[in-house]
Chain A
Amino acid sequence: MKLRTIFTLLVVAIALGLVSFWVGQQSYSWLPPQASAESKLVDNLFSFLVTLGTFIFLGVTVAVLYTVLVHRVGRYDMSDGPPIEGNVTLEVVWTVIPVLLVVWIAVYSYQTYDRMAVHGPMELVHLHNPMGMEPAYAANLEGGEVVEPIEVHSRQWAWEFRYPEQNVTSAELHLPVDRRVRLALQSEDVIHGFYIPAFRLKQDIIPGKTIDFEFTPIREGIYRLRDSQYSGTYFAAMQTDVVVQSPAEYQQWLAQAASQPPQSSANRADYEYKLAAKKRINAGWKSVPPAPAPVVNYPAQDGRA
Chain B
Amino acid sequence: MTNIPVEAIAVKTPQPLPGAPDNWKRFFSFSTDHKVIGIQYLVTSFIFFLIGGFFAMIIRGELITPEADLVDRTIYNAMFTMHGTVMLFLWMFPSLVGLANYLVPLMIGARDMAFPRLNAAAFWMVPVVGILLMASFFVPGGPSQSGWWAYPPVSLQNPTGNLVNGQFLWLLAVAVSGVSSIMGAVNFVTTIVMMRAPGMTYFRMPAYVWTVLSAQIIQLYGLPALTAGAVMLLMDLTFGTSFFDPAKGGSPVLFQHFFWFYSHPAVYVIILPIFGVFSEIFPVFARKPLFGYKVVAISSIVITILSGTVWVHHMFASGTPGWMRMIFMFSTMAIAVPTGVKVFAWVATLWGGKLRLTTPMLFALGALLMFVFSGITGIMLASVPIDIHVNNTYFVVGHFHYVIFGAATMGMYAAIYHWFPKMTGRMYNEGLGQLHFWLTLIGANLNFFPMHPLGLMGMPRRVASYDPEFAFWNVLASIGAFLLGMSTLPFILNIVGSWVQGKKAPDNPWRAIGLEWLVSSPPPVENFEEIPVVVAEPYGYGKNEPLVENGKVIAATEI
Q: How far is the CA of A250 from the CA of B340 in the complex (A)?
A: 51
- Which residues of B in the span 126-163 have a Cβ within 8 Å of any Cβ on A? 140-142, 145-147, 151, 153-154, 157, 159-160
Bitwise interface map of B from 192 to 212 toward A, beta carbon under 8 Å scored 1, else 0: 000000000000000000000
B75 touches A285 (CB 8 A): yes
Answer yes or no: B243 CB below 8 A from chain A CBs. Answer: no
- Which residues of A in the span 54-107 have a Cβ within 8 Å of any Cβ on B? 56-57, 60-61, 63-64, 67-68, 71-73, 77-87, 90-91, 94-95, 98-99, 102, 105-106
Q: How far is the CA of A226 from the CA of B74 in the complex (A)?
A: 19
B142 touches A106 (CB 8 A): no
A116 touches B291 (CB 8 A): no
Which of chain A's residues have a CB closer than 8 A to the CB of B329?
106, 109-110
Which of chain B's residues have a CB closer than 8 A to the CB of A68?
350, 355, 357, 365
Which of chain B's residues have a CB closer than 8 A to the CB of A67?
347, 350-353, 355
Task: Given A85-B289, A102-B334, A285-B145, check contact A202 B391 (CB 8 Å).
Answer: yes
B159 touches A46 (CB 8 A): no
Bitwise interface map of B from 287 to 301 toward A, beta carbon under 8 Å scored 1, else 0: 111111111000000
Least CB distance from A7 to B in Å reads 19
Q: How far is the CA of A79 from the CA of B355 in the complex (A)?
A: 11
- Which residues of B in the span 377-401 have a Cβ within 8 Å of any Cβ on A? 377, 379-380, 383-386, 388-389, 391-393
Task: Given A80-B542, A109-B329, check contact A232 B347 (CB 8 Å).
Answer: no
B389 touches A197 (CB 8 A): yes
Least CB distance from B380 to A in Å reads 5
- Which residues of B in the span 278-329 have a Cβ within 8 Å of any Cβ on A? 286-295, 317-323, 325-326, 329
Say which residue of A105, A125, A228, A284 sits within 8 Å of B392 (CB atoms): A228
How many residues in A have their beta carbons less than 8 Å from beta carbons of B? 94
Say which residue of B292, B319, B465 sits within 8 Å of A91 (CB atoms): B292
Task: Given A42-B389, A81-B287, check contact A206 B319 (CB 8 Å).
Answer: yes
Task: Given A72-B356, A80-B287, A204-B319, check contact A57 B337 (CB 8 Å).
Answer: no
Which of chain B's residues have a CB closer than 8 A to the CB of A112?
385
Contact size range, B: 35 or more
Answer yes or no: B503 CB below 8 A from chain A CBs. Answer: no
Bitwise interface map of A from 204 to 239 toward B, beta carbon under 8 Å scored 1, else 0: 101111010000000000001011111111111101
A287 touches B365 (CB 8 A): no
Which of chain A's residues have a CB closer than 8 A to the CB of B458?
32, 195, 197-198, 224, 226
Answer yes or no: A145 CB below 8 A from chain B CBs. Answer: no
Say which residue of B288, B333, B383 sits within 8 Å of A80 (CB atoms): B288
> Which stretch, A159-167, A173-181, A185-193, A292-300, touches the partner chain B?
A185-193
B333 touches A106 (CB 8 A): yes
B464 touches A61 (CB 8 A): no
Answer yes or no: A4 CB below 8 A from chain B CBs. Answer: no
Nearest-neighbor residue (CB-CB) of A97 within chain B = B340
Least CB distance from A87 to B in Å reads 8
Which of chain B's residues have a CB closer than 8 A to the CB of A226?
458, 460
Bitwise interface map of A from 40 to 52 toward B, beta carbon under 8 Å scored 1, else 0: 0110011001100
Least CB distance from A29 to B in Å reads 10
Nearest-neighbor residue (CB-CB) of B369 within chain A = A61
Answer yes or no: B466 CB below 8 A from chain A CBs. Answer: yes
Answer yes or no: A203 CB below 8 A from chain B CBs. Answer: yes
The main secondary structure of chain A at its interface with chain B is mixed
Answer yes or no: A123 CB below 8 A from chain B CBs. Answer: yes
Answer yes or no: B336 CB below 8 A from chain A CBs. Answer: yes
Answer yes or no: A278 CB below 8 A from chain B CBs. Answer: no
Bitwise interface map of B from 69 to 84 toward A, beta carbon under 8 Å scored 1, else 0: 0011111011000000
Answer yes or no: A262 CB below 8 A from chain B CBs. Answer: no
B73 touches A234 (CB 8 A): yes
- Which residues of B in the span 424-477 have a Cβ within 8 Å of any Cβ on A? 453, 456-458, 460-467
Task: Given A56-B376, A113-B385, check contact A102 B336 (CB 8 Å).
Answer: yes
Task: Given A80-B354, A200-B389, A207-B247, check contact A64 B347 (CB 8 Å).
Answer: yes
Say which residue of A71, A95, A105, A236 sits within 8 Å of B352 (CB atoms): A71
A78 touches B291 (CB 8 A): no
Q: How far is the CA of A239 from the CA of B252 in the complex (A)?
A: 23
Task: Given A45-B383, A73-B354, check contact A232 B145 (CB 8 Å).
Answer: yes
Say which residue of B147, B160, B294, B357 sits within 8 Å of A230 (CB atoms): B147
A202 touches B154 (CB 8 A): no
Least CB distance from B146 to A in Å reads 8
B463 touches A236 (CB 8 A): yes
Answer yes or no: B343 CB below 8 A from chain A CBs. Answer: yes
Q: How far is the CA of A226 from the CA of B457 in the complex (A)?
A: 12
A53 touches B392 (CB 8 A): no
Q: How far is the CA of A30 from the CA of B340 in the complex (A)?
A: 27
Q: How far is the CA of A212 from the CA of B541 in the complex (A)?
A: 62
Interface CB pairs A-B, < 8 A, 12: A64-B350, A64-B368, A67-B355, A80-B542, A85-B289, A87-B291, A95-B341, A105-B333, A109-B386, A189-B153, A229-B392, A236-B465
Known: A71-B351, A84-B348. 8 other contacts (CB 8 A): A71-B355, A83-B541, A84-B291, A116-B388, A204-B319, A211-B319, A284-B74, A304-B467
